[in-house]
Amino acid sequence: MEMQEVERWGMFEIALEGPAEGNPFQDVELSAEFQYRNDRIAVDGFYDGAGIYRIRFMPDREGAWRFITKSSAKELDGRSGDFVCTKASFENHGPVRVRKGYLFEYGDGTPFLPFGTTCYHWTHTGDEEHERLTIEELRKSPFNKVRMCLLPTRDMRPGAVAYEGTCPEDADTTRFNPAFFAHLEKCIHELMQIGVEADLILFHPYDKQGGWGFNGLSNEQDFFYLRYVIARLGAFRNVWWSLSNEYDFNRMKTVEDWDRLLLYVQRRDAYQHLRSIHNGTKMYEHATVYDFTKSWLTHQSIQHWDAGATTELLAKAHKPVVIDEISYEGNVAKRWGNITGLELMDRYWEGMTRGGFVAHGECFENKPTGAWISRGGRLYGESPERIRFLRRLIEEGPEDWMGAREEGSYALIYLGKYRFSSYKLSMPSDRQYQIELIDIWNMSVSKVTGTYTGQSEVTLPAQPYMALRLQAV
């Protein structure tokens, strides 16, 4: 019989029939060891209901692979087989990794620039038409990463949650809901097809007393949940792990608890997907940023209103900075959700020209499809097209635009809210530079006449929200 073929960074799945009595989620241990030449990789399997067990694997090298299962259930133990890993398809670049300490790239070395957005519960609406609308809006947008929650908030009553049960009173944290995860997997796969990374928020602090109770589970219960999630979702190449949103707002867990949970994710994830944790703020007063120097974190997921903090964050932890929340364009009665599109773009440019990445969010009241950050739907703000413009400019430049600036071949300089009539530049005297003037809001790029070198002064139109692009001739 011809061996099954799976492309590099695709998903190979084993489906086995096994015991259905009792509580298979807790009672049955299942894993498999995959072997490529002399290398061996172990992954957990999971129970998918109705007596079906699955093991998923994402091969990272082309060639022949073999596997053998290990289980506490006799009928699942010692099952073996093989498959062939083939060349990745054209748009399959692999999972995203950290590069050079502050940048990202795909597994095949293709640069990845995260231009993210937030849609916390777009997969919880129970409305397939609304979900299709969200996918289509993302496909047309400049965004290539979306932050999304697995667990419901206190007042939500979705048709299905990660555990068995439909309301807090009957939620059973010893059993998972395969139908919920099957739907979530469909959504993650649809994101993969349009080139969007799924930044999965595993916990959050919005399930207070009287809610589902998922934010106050014991460490053991949390480990149980994480192991199942990683077994089911870890073989998707477009998955990132965000352990918690606004972790410091959860008074039921300590920093030591979060450390243990992050270490557990690192240990159980055979593919070492990107891992981070997200802080809250007392808006415009202080932010309780996690200690990102800890080795089990791959990048910094930040909430901060001041993009100028990027420089300090990069210097302290030497890991990529992604300001996933910098306040949202919108009109809600909260300071985090009512800045203008222009203000959001000012923060975007400030963060990116300092070497960080900034994410979008949008929450307008009384719009037909609701608030984007909550449930997706349609984008109504003025910022997305300006973000597309910025993304194009960044992609036109060198892959490492900060390194190029230090080396002296390229620079992107943001002038902010100030109205300069001229601007002094200090450039290497052994090179000639062409300068372009960028209007970040009107999305225009115009050449400045002549070439410049050494200590120079450029005449400007005395308008705010302008930037300069310098390129060595």
- Structural domain contains residue 147: yes
* Per-position b or e across 258-282, b if 16+ CB within 10 A of its CB: bbebbebbbebbbbebbbbbbbbbe
Do 79 and 102 share a structural domain? no
Query: 300 - beta bridge partners?
Result: 321
- Structural domain contains residue 343: yes
186 Cβ neighbours under 8 A, 6+ residues apart: none
Do 421 and 288 share a structural domain? no
Domain that holds residue 48: 4-86
Q: Are 41 and 33 in contact (CB under 8 A)?
A: yes
Q: Report the CATH number that the domain containing residue 412 is assigned in CATH.
A: 2.60.40.3950
Residue in 207, 127, 191 with CA at minimum distance from that of residue 370: 127
What single DSSP character describes residue 181? H
Do 435 and 292 share a structural domain? no
DSSP 374-398: HH------SHHHHHHHHHHHHHHS-
Q: What is the pLDDT of residue 1?
A: 54
Backbone φ and ψ of 6, nearest 5°: -135, 135
- Structural domain contains residue 431: yes
Q: Give the span between the Cα atoms of 275 and 234, in whole angstroms.
A: 12
Q: What is the pLDDT of residue 416?
A: 97
- Structural domain contains residue 401: no
- Structural domain contains residue 127: yes
- Structural domain contains residue 423: yes
Residue in 145, 178, 186 with CA at minimum distance from that of residue 358: 145
Q: Give the span between the Cα atoms of 200 and 182, in whole angstroms.
A: 15
Q: Give the span between the Cα atoms of 449 and 445, in whole angstroms.
A: 13
Give the C-alpha distances (Å, rounded to integers) separating 78 from 30, 67, 73, 81, 427. 11, 9, 10, 10, 66
- Structural domain contains residue 212: yes
What single DSSP character describes residue 127? -
Do 306 and 201 share a structural domain? yes
Q: What is the pLDDT of residue 464?
A: 98
Q: Report the CATH number that the domain containing residue 76 is assigned in CATH.
A: 2.60.40.10
Q: Are 244 and 250 in contact (CB under 8 A)?
A: yes
Q: What is the pLDDT of residue 284?
A: 78
How many domains does one find in the chain?
3
Q: For the chain, first and last CA: distance in Å?
A: 60
Q: What is the pLDDT of residue 461?
A: 96
Do 142 and 199 share a structural domain? yes
Q: Report residue 444 as tokens.
A: 């225009």
- Structural domain contains residue 277: yes
Local confidence pLDDT in tens for the 473 residues of the chain? 567 999 999 999 999 999 999 999 999 999 999 999 999 999 999 999 999 999 999 999 999 999 999 999 999 999 999 999 999 999 999 999 999 999 999 999 999 999 999 999 999 999 999 999 999 999 999 999 999 999 999 999 999 999 999 899 999 999 999 999 999 999 999 999 999 999 999 999 998 767 899 999 999 999 999 999 999 999 999 999 999 999 999 999 999 999 999 999 999 999 999 999 999 998 778 889 999 999 999 999 999 999 999 999 999 999 999 999 999 999 999 889 999 999 999 999 999 999 999 999 999 999 999 999 999 999 999 999 999 999 999 999 999 999 999 999 999 999 999 999 999 999 999 999 999 999 999 999 999 999 999 999 999 999 999 999 999 99
Do 430 and 382 share a structural domain? no
Do 222 and 179 share a structural domain? yes
